[in-house]
Each structure stands twice: as structure tokens, then as C-alpha cells.
Amino acid sequence: MPYELVIGLRYLKARRGQRFLSLITWISIGGVAVGVMALLVVLAVMSGFERDLRAKILGVNAHIWVLKFGERGLDDPDRVLREVRATPGVAGAVPFTFHQVMLSASRTAVGAVLRGMDLEGVGPVMDLPHAIKETDPRLLQREGGGLRLAPDAILLGRVLAANLGVRVGDPVIVISPQGTILTPFGLAPRLRPFTVGGIFDVGMHEYDAGMAVVTLATAQRLFQMGTAVSGIEVKVDDVDRAAAVARAIQTRLGFPYYSRDWLQMNRNLWAALQLEKLAMFVILIFIVLVAAFNILSTLIMGVMDKGAAIGILKSMGATRRGIMRIFMVQGVIIGAVGTLLGAVLGGFLCYLQVTYHIVPLKGDVYFLGVLPIQVRPWDVAWVVAASLTLSFLATLYPSWKAARLDPVAAIRYG
């Protein structure tokens, strides 16, 4: 074993009657551990938010929307569907309609988005069938991976149904502002009564409080679209390649068609999450930086305390590099032990949250019911690398000062 390692390990222990330096060493280890633990937990929470939000967004939205410039939408959906499904990387595609409406029930009116879907074929494209919690068997039946909804039935989000004060089987009136009924007083809004056939809960307040679903054919008749649709929803084999597949679809179809992937449709939310994650990493890395200063002060005090010993080592033939390595070993061991301890504590806290849901959240504020956790290997690697790097850098100045000590002066005044 190299003498630098042996002496460095011995210097970590205080001499009898001098427990102060040993206490400082433990404080330095604790500082590194707290910084690493905080970083890992915060990054795991931010990664968990990304994962759960993506899952909930894609639960009621496909990976890609294919749209067409103009007011009529896609007037040739069958041809577009064939082209989209023939694109490499596409796992499924279904047509949809998208309109702003007013829902009225029990003297209550609420604005919502009414989406018309091919519910029988929606299973391979989105997870909406799994989100339905309450159904009326007369109006809604599960069929394979899809749904069979009666023409006069409507699906409501959980919060939207609560705001309207309706349950499964209750009547709801859909009011379309795109009025085409001519009356003596001008154009009147188009009204259409529906019966609540099911209530879904995707776990994201934005959709549970503002979305309703009917069959595609019903929506086309209600808005007098004929065979046209608002667009095509597409699911891809690999969600991380959604942008590339969207570009391939747009190239294949050409103008006036265009495609938008799920990241583009939620760009503001995703950009805010990424910025917040970066900001939290930068802020919390200062905790590790403070711990690195503790290591720096510990080693400086160690150099001052071990002056005579350093002089004796030099007189016995120890080189400057050897002296530097002795104190580098001390700092690196403090940093490594603190990093390991912080990683273990951070992982334990993440385990407790994942297993027991210790920290709940308000779903109407955060879109989620509990604080989400996802520990990513590269996040752990970044934190560990940053901690060890700062710990190593903190050893350079004290080690350099120790190596420059004059052995004669050190022995005389040590």
C-alpha cells in the first residue's frame, strides 16, 4: 500500500486529546452528504414530474397531430390515414374532431372542448379506455381495446361532471357557438341533448375539468362537417422519436398538411419544467460547494497542525508530490464517503416516497395526486461526478501549501 494512502488515512483521525479536527472531518462529510442527498431527491422529483405529466398528457392525446391549413380541416381523411399509417415508425392513427362548446345541465353551464373520436379504434392510439371509471352499460361497452358509445351518449371528465352536477345517465345539452339555425332574430346556437354514458379520470386537472368526448360520426353531424375531420391522431413506436416521425409525415403529405408532435403542443410546460430542473440543480450544487469549502478549511487546519510531521517526512525523503498526495487522499476520502452516504440517504428518501406516498399533492394545482419520484441513472451520475470533482478541487490549495513547506522551519516552529 503506498505510504501516501497510509499516512492520509491516519491523518483523518485526530490525535488523542485533539478531537476537534476529527469533529470537523465529520462535519465536512455531513455537509457533502446533505448536499448530495438534496440534489438527488430534487432531481428525482423533477424527473418524476416529467414522467407522470408525459404519461397523463399522452393518456388523452396521441404523440402526433396531423392537421391541414384552412377552416374545413381534413376533407380527405381516408387518403391521409393511408399515407400516415404507411410512414415508418407509426404504430396507429385515428381521425378526430376538436371544437369549443358550452355544456349545460341543471341550470349550470360550463365551457369545454368537445372531441369527436373513432372510439372503437382509439385503443392502440391512446389510453382513454383505461381512464374511464364509471359507465352506463346501456350507452357504453368496452370492445377489445376500444369503446362502443351510443350516438346520443357523451363522456365527461370527472371534474367537469362534478362542475355540471351530473352523474352517469343524466342529461347534458351541448351548445355549439357555430350556429346554423336561422330564426327571426338571426342565427341561433345549435343545441343537442346527450346522456352521460361514462366519466373518465386521467389524473390531470386540465383534461378532467375541460374535455368531453362523443363519437366521430356524432360530432361530424353536430358541426355539419360531412366526412371531414379536424385532424389525425398518431401514435409512434418510440415516443422519443415523435419529432422525427412528425417530420417524415409532413414530408410525405406535403403542403397544405402539417404535423405537430406532443412536445410542440406542450412546449411551454416542458420548457418551464426543464428550466426549473436546471435552476434547482445550480442552486443546490452550492450546498455541495459549501461542503467543499469545509473540506478546504479542514485540510488547511490539518496542514497547520501537521507542520512538524510534514517537515520530518520531507527530511526522510518524501517528495513534494508525495506530500500533496497525502492531503489529496484526505480530501478525496471525505468527499467520497460524504457522496456515498448522501446517495444512500437520497435513495432511501425516494424509496419511502414511492412506497408510502408520504407527500401528497393537490391535483387541481399540480395535476398529480402525490409527489412523483423517478431516479434516473444519469442524474445520479451527474451529482456524484459534481460532488467528487468539487471535493478534489478543494484539496489542491492545501496540498500545494503543504508541499511548499520548508522542512527546517516546519520542524523548528512545529
Contact 243, 88 (CB under 8 A): no
Comparing CA positions, the residue from 374, 383, 408 lying closest to residue 49 is: 374
How many whole angstroms from its chain centre is CA 317? 57
Query: Residues of 97-123 as b/e, b for ≥16 C-beta within 10 angstroms?
Result: bbbebbbbbeeeebebebbbbbbbbbb
CB neighbour class for 201 (10 Å; exposed up to 12, middle 13-18, buried from 19): middle
Bridge partners (DSSP) of residue 148 are 141
Dist. CA 400–CA 323, nearest whole Å: 8
The predicted structure's pLDDT at residue 380: 94
CB neighbour class for 66 (10 Å; exposed up to 12, middle 13-18, buried from 19): buried
Determine the residue type at 76.
D
| Residues lower than pLDDT 50 in the chain | none
**Side-chain-side CA neighbours of residue 295 (13 Å):** 36
Comparing CA positions, the residue from 379, 350, 135 lying closest to residue 359 is: 350
Comparing CA positions, the residue from 17, 14, 28, 72 lying closest to residue 335 is: 28
The predicted structure's pLDDT at residue 197: 95
The predicted structure's pLDDT at residue 220: 93
The 10s digit of each residue's pLDDT in 216-233 is 999 999 988 889 999 999
